[in-house]
Structure 1
């Protein structure tokens, strides 16, 4: 089972997921209420990246923010993206990569089943949230120039 299937299985008791063939190419996924419509023409990596963001919208967004008309809309969009990226690129999984000697950006993106740019954006959210240097569960993270870790 791939990561997209695992994510959908985890949330399908609360969220409906429907693959659609008639979505515009510019739209990877869309949430209406508790239903996430997934563009069937996107590849699995892009579907995963879009689905976790839409799960973030279900969990964190209030109201219709599709127009980005207010600062609140923009904040909610950002919050949903961060929520989604942390669903699949969480610190425990980054530690699992380290333990498995998965260290290069392309190996990590393969592990998480996301694009390299998506992975780096997720790492950037940790840099903003936790700072350049931080410890977590006995590991020292340094996000100054990418990602380096060591066991404490």
Structure 2
């Protein structure tokens, strides 16, 4: 999925996305308006927009005060939405099938930053543990690998 495709998805949900010279944040959402930091790379914009659309789908109210446990939880839900949208376990398997063998190649294949891949893998380890089996594949998050299981 590209940044442009995410912009189209935002439009479907009647979200207005503008690139602006933000200082403290890469992205912000208020109501149906999303601001993305103008001077980011398209890859960073894509990762940021996925999270902001995640906020649209999963959060309510002003959650800027991250000292509040409820706000941190909502932030996590929004990020998880973006992680599943751009990466997800099935996309890890698809990348493996296409010859991707390391984190750098994975980031390039999925069109996300290496930092984003690291965040996704941390999330997956917290959610699933060190590995997750789906169909005849075992996805290991540490170290990152995909194994095909033959029965």
TM-score between both structures, scaled by the size of structure 2: 0.89
SS at match of 1:97: helix
Counterpart of 1:150? 147
Q: Which runs of 4+ in 1 moved over 6 A?
A: none
Shift of 1:11: 3.3
SS at match of 1:12: helix
Shift of 1:23: 2.5
Unpaired runs of 5+ in structure 1? none
RMSD: 1.6
Contact 2:10 2:16 in 1 (8 A): no
SS at match of 2:12: coil
CA distance in 1, matches of 2:84, 2:71: 20
Structure-to-structure mapping, 1:1-152, within 5 angstroms: 3-24=2-23, 26-143=24-141, 145-152=142-149
Unpaired runs of 5+ in structure 2? none
Q: How many residue pairs end up in the alignment?
A: 149
Shift of 1:18: 2.4
